[in-house]
Amino acid sequence: MLATPKKYTLMAGSAEGPTRLNAFDNALLAAGIGNVNLLRVSSILPPNATEVARLDVQPGALVPTAYGTITSDAPGELIAAAVAVGVGATDDYGVIMEFSGRCGRQEAEERVAEMARAAFRQRGRELERVLVRGVEHRVGETGCAFAAVALWY
């Protein structure tokens, strides 16, 4: 079992690339998480985790990450990705929600924030605040929008 992360960072970025994979990689770089290995995780923020503005890990590190991403090769298409962190009482766990779609940043952020509120309602817990980060991208040739919550130590 891996150790429980103590820090988290919300990030988002978008970019173009010559291929779908390059667009994704470039969006990771734009978000500030391009030189690590993402371990995709589901939607729980560990208890007592502290928000940190910038990811500070070594290149190649294994980083548990909840993320939403969308890649498109339809020129002119508007795509967006967003993440939300629902934070409850101190010393208790939170929730992380991800969204991506063919829409603008505002819609993506609104949808993911509502998902965090719904997750707290489903758990019968009181929500203190919702943190949201999103990005939109107008596709040139091949583009990607990426938003994530990185969990780290």
pLDDT of residue 16: 98
Name the one residue in this structure whose structure tokens are 């150790």. Answer: 3
SS3 20: helix
From 37, 48, 77, 128, active-site residue: 37
- The pTM (predicted TM-score) of the whole model is 0.96
Q: Tens of pLDDT along 8-38? A: 999 999 999 999 999 999 999 999 999 999 9
Q: Is 37 a catalytic site residue?
A: yes
Q: Domain for residue 78, yes or no?
A: yes
Residues in the chain: 153
Q: Is 100 a catalytic site residue?
A: no
Q: Domain for residue 2, yes or no?
A: no
Q: Domain for residue 82, yes or no?
A: yes
pLDDT of residue 70: 98
- Averaged over 107-114, what is the pLDDT? 98
Q: Tens of pLDDT along 74-92? A: 999 999 999 999 999 777 8
pLDDT of residue 91: 75
Q: How many domains does the chain have?
A: 1
Q: Domain for residue 141, yes or no?
A: yes
Of 5, 2, 3, nearest to 96 by C-alpha is: 5
Confidence band, pLDDT 50/70/90 cuts, at residue 118? very high
Of 111, 110, 130, nearest to 120 by C-alpha is: 130
Q: Domain for residue 1, yes or no?
A: no
Q: Is 14 a catalytic site residue?
A: no
Q: Domain for residue 36, yes or no?
A: yes
Q: Domain for residue 19, yes or no?
A: yes
Q: Domain for residue 84, yes or no?
A: yes
Q: Is 98 a catalytic site residue?
A: yes
Segments forming the whole domain that contains residue 23: 7-152
**Which CATH number fits the domain that encloses residue 26?**
3.50.20.10
From 14, 26, 72, 98, active-site residue: 98
